[in-house]
């Protein structure tokens, strides 16, 4: 009898397993494929390896600005793929060693529920006081003719490409689609993004999506919003994507099509209905504030429950769920969740967007500062972007939104300030080192009170 049986060894499951062992609990971790889940094997890590390649190529194009003249260079997707695989394999091996060091039993098998205390894995029953579902998500499939044609891929399959397509259509203007758009455009593909909704990155502050759209177009990426794909056809020279846009029918020829239209919970084989676990819209498992499902002693975390489908959210939920099982405390993960988008330039956001503040009827002020006026950004030749800060009527910081160099690193300061309930005044009292990108955040906070030093005053 185990204390906890965890199904799924992604960033939610394996982190939960380690925390459980730290609490002295006996754990069985079941994973049908590789530890690390989607994040490590088919998502966050491999795409960031490609993002580094893409950024390096962008830097090569800027080399004359740094006094460097290149006689020539060429890019190999096959070699980039090999490097990506080495990174993934290194991290997978590291997690396996970590699990072994904690004495966590790992079973590679397909698992399903029998009841609230029993899991069936490859024909063998295993019993536990608690069960934790951490099975993650899978790419959604569009109900569009031609989705099964050769050359039409999801976000898992595109990571196996070793030859660069000359032309690529990406269906979906969300995080996944736009990250791949930046990557493959930098690699040398001619990229077209087709988004059904009127705006890119519609879950983030509206201004971020608008500004990114401008930067993507400047890089040569063709972006079509308010456009729905109707059909994909196979032609002699590749694929033909037929869509309906604001100005009528459009057709785009392509050598590869990436479908990045969201993700759905992975629950195949879990036997949720038979076990009596309730699910909500689109099949996401329903849980309470402690991540307990409708079945006593069964919990669920991560992408399989929906919400913010991010690796770091799954990890925090896994820790919270295990601590609840252990009777330490009953809590949810922090409501302040930073979100990062690894496009070029990067995007990061935490807290309320302007739209959300307006919808809530809040009185707020915004402050902005362009990276074009930041000394460090100029020395890096990365001046595209802006920092935007929102404060409420009590001067408390309620949102930080960044598009620009190292946005994913800078957002942590915004999160730390908001977690402490810092006011604008408290934030600007912190001395920021010079010259750094972080000065742009301080200037944006200052600007929310009309006090920015390196920003010309508005004309009266």
| Residue 66, burial from CB neighbour count under 10 angstroms (0-12, 13-18, 19+) | exposed
CA-CA distances (angstroms) from residue 407 to 106, 158, 178, 336, 441? 36, 26, 16, 17, 10
Q: Which fold has domain 152-261?
A: FAD/NAD(P)-binding domain (3.50.50)
Any idea which residue has 């079941």 for tokens? 30
Beta bridge partners of 131: 5, 298
pLDDT per residue over 359-401, tens digit each? 999 999 999 999 999 999 999 999 999 999 999 999 999 999 9
pLDDT of residue 234: 95
DSSP, collapsed to helix, strand or coil, labels residue 307 as coil
pLDDT per residue over 6-50, tens digit each? 999 999 999 999 999 999 999 999 999 999 999 999 999 999 999
Closest among 342, 68, 18 to 180, alpha carbons compared = 342
Q: Where in the chain is the domain with CATH 3.50.50.60?
A: 2-139+264-325, 152-261
Question: Between residues 330 and 89, which one has the greater pLDDT?
Answer: 89
The one catalytic residue among 51, 117, 126, 434: 434
Q: Per-residue pLDDT averaged across 415-425, rounded? A: 96
Q: What is the pTM of this model?
A: 0.95
pLDDT of residue 198: 96
Percent of the chain with pLDDT over 90: 93
Domain 345-447 in CATH 3.30.390.30? The answer is yes
Which residues make Cβ contacts (< 8 Å) with residue 83, sequence separation at least 6? 49, 53
Closest among 209, 306, 301 to 265, alpha carbons compared = 306
> Six-digit token pair at 421?
């309930």
Q: Where in the chain is the domain with CATH 3.30.390.30?
A: 345-447
Is 164 in contact with 189 (CB distance < 8 Å)? Answer: yes
Q: 2-139+264-325 — its CATH code? A: 3.50.50.60
Share the mean pLDDT of the chain.
95
Q: Per-residue pLDDT averaged across 305-320, rounded? A: 94
pLDDT per residue over 212-255, tens digit each? 999 999 999 999 999 999 999 999 889 999 999 988 999 999 99
DSSP structure string for 331-396? ----S---EEE-SSSEEEEEE--HHHHHHTT--EEEEEEEGGG-HHHHHTT----EEEEEEETT-B
Any idea which residue has 């200037």 for tokens? 443
pLDDT per residue over 60-70, tens digit each? 999 999 999 88
Write the Ramachandran bin of 452: left for phi over 0, alpha for psi from -120 to 50, otherwise beta: beta
Q: Output phi, psi for 442, to 5 deg.
A: -60, -40
| pLDDT above 90: residue 331 | no
Which 8-state DSSP code applies to residue 285?
Answer: B
pLDDT of residue 333: 62
Parallel/antiparallel/unpaired status of strands 27-31 and 105-108: parallel
Percent of the chain with pLDDT over 70: 99
pLDDT grade for 317, boundaries at 50, 70 and 90: very high
pLDDT of residue 342: 98
Q: Output phi, psi for 356, to 5 deg.
A: -65, -40
pLDDT grade for 318, boundaries at 50, 70 and 90: very high
Torsion, Cα 347 197 215 307, to 10 degrees, reads: 10
Instruction: Decide if 434 is catalytic.
Output: yes
**Cβ burial 445-457 (10 Å sphere, 16+ → b, else e):** bbbbeeebeebee
CA distance 33 to 107: 10
> Six-digit token pair at 134?
């951490």
CA distance 77 to 188: 10
Q: Output phi, psi for 292, to 5 deg.
A: -85, 135
pLDDT of residue 296: 87
pLDDT per residue over 160-199, tens digit each? 999 999 999 999 999 999 999 999 999 999 999 999 999 9
Is 292 in contact with 324 (CB distance < 8 Å)? Answer: yes
pLDDT of residue 330: 63
pLDDT of residue 458: 72
Torsion, Cα 208 211 212 215, to 10 degrees, reads: -160
| pLDDT above 60: residue 122 | yes
Sheet strands (E) in 199-272: 222-224, 228-235, 238-245, 248-254, 256-259, 263-265
């Amino acid at each position: 009898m185990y204390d906890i049986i965890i199904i799924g060894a992604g960033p939610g499951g394996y982190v939960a397993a380690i925390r459980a062992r730290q609490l002295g609990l006996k754990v069985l971790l079941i994973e049908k494929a590789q530890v690390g889940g989607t994040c490590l094997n088919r998502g966050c890590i491999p795409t960031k390896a490609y993002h580094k390649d893409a950024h390096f190529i962008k830097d090569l194009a800027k080399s004359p600005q740094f006094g460097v003249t290149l006689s020539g260079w060429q890019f190999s997707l096959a070699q980039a793929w090999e490097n990506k695989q080495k990174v993934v394999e290194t991290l997978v091996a590291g997690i396996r060693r970590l699990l072994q060091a904690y004495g966590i039993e790992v079973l590679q098998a397909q698992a399903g529920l029998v009841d609230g205390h029993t899991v069936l894995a490859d024909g063998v029953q295993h019993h536990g006081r608690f069960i934790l579902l951490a099975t993650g998500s899978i790419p959604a499939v569009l109900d569009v003719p031609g989705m099964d044609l050769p050359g039409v891929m999801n976000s898992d399959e595109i990571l196996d490409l070793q030859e660069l397509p000359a032309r690529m259509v990406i269906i979906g203007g969300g995080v996944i689609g736009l990250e791949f758009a930046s990557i493959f455009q930098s690699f040398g593909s001619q990229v077209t993004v087709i988004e059904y909704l009127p705006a890119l990155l519609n879950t983030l502050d509206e201004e971020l999506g608008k500004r990114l759209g401008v930067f993507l177009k400047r890089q040569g990426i063709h972006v079509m919003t308010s456009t729905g794909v109707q059909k994909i056809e196979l032609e002699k020279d590749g694929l033909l994507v037929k869509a309906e846009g604001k100005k009528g029918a459009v057709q785009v020829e392509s050598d590869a099509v990436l479908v990045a239209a969201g993700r759905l919970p992975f629950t195949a084989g879990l036997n949720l209905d038979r076990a009596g676990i309730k699910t909500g819209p689109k099949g996401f498992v329903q849980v309470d504030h402690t991540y307990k499902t409708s079945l006593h002693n069964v919990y669920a975390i991560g992408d399989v429950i929906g919400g913010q489908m991010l690796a770091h959210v799954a990890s925090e939920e896994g820790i919270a769920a295990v601590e609840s099982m252990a009777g330490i405390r009953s809590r949810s993960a922090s409501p302040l969740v930073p979100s990062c988008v690894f496009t070029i330039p990067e995007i990061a956001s935490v807290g309320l967007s302007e739209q959300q503040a307006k919808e809530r009827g809040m009185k707020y002020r915004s402050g902005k500062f362009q990276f074009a006026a930041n000394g460090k950004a100029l020395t890096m030749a990365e001046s595209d972007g802006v920092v935007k800060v929102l404060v409420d009527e009590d001067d408390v910081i309620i949102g930080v939104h960044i598009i620009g160099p190292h946005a994913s690193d800078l957002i942590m300061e915004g999160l730390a300030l908001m977690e402490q309930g810092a006011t604008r005044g408290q934030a600007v009292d912190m001395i920021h080192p010079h010259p750094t990108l972080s000065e742009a955040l301080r200037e944006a906070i200052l600007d929310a009170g009309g006090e920015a030093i390196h920003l010309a005053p508005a004309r009266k």
